[in-house]
Structure 1
Amino acid sequence: MKQNIDKISELMIDVICEFYENDSKARTFGTDTELYHSEIHMLQCIMDNPGLHISGIARTLGITRGAASQTAKRLERKQMIEKKVNPIDSKKILMLLTTKGKTACLNHKLAHEKHRTVISKILSSSSAEQLLFLKSFLLKFETALKE
């Protein structure tokens, strides 16, 4: 039993490392510009939450305002976003996706959908009991990682 648990633990770590290495590489997401993990997720946040200013984006992503501001500047230089003054509150600057930014977001969503399809295909032959166990395990693992 202990030997199986050790093998499963090592396999889980290997899968996490492989996914992390793939996810941390810069990708173009259908554009001519490389984007890093933090950049594509900020673009996705802007797309999913139109009208957010930099503080709202930082809160949503769970990062500091400074980190959000730096990432936004990089995205603006890469022509993925443009900044506009909020017509309701001129003290706030809104982040808007450019056409290039929208293309990157749509391709990012497609990449996530591809992962979901692979996972669904693998899990489709599992029993309800197996799925319940896996869900429980992953929730506990996620909680432990956050601690």
Structure 2
Amino acid sequence: MEWYIKTFGELSNEELYAILKLRVEVFVVEQDCPYPELDDYDQASVHYFLKVNNEIAANVRIVPAGTKYSEASIGRVVVNPTFRGCGYGQEIMRKAIDYTATVLAEPRIKIQGQEYLERFYTELGFKKISESYLEDGIPHIDMIWERG
């Protein structure tokens, strides 16, 4: 089990392929949601991921402030179905929040989360800042984390 933090340019071809493959498997295929997964934010982002037995177990991308939103953002939060139930979702989010707040020195983090995960994100310190809305046919809400 090993954690990695890499910019887009630091990702190997194999790592990039594995991350994109996992995201498509979960967000497009599993959730039956055809949408443009490749949105041109990966290149500016920091990719935080966990490998277990050389397989991507969990992944998030940290989008710098001023790129997608005025605040920094954590998105494309995904846990490989093989590794669900191991706590990796919470663990990677805690690590990503810590990295964003300390290394990037960002006081606020904005996320666009699927509405059914509101409790998950609330437990991590995020507060809901929008009403529910449909994004690619799935109910979402905007949430903010602020250094306290």
Which TM-score bucket, shorter chain as reference?
Answer: under 0.3
Higher alpha-carbon Rg = 1
Q: TM-score, normalised by structure 1?
A: 0.25
Q: Which has the higher strand share?
A: 2
Instruction: Calculate the TM-score normalised by the size of structure 2.
Output: 0.25
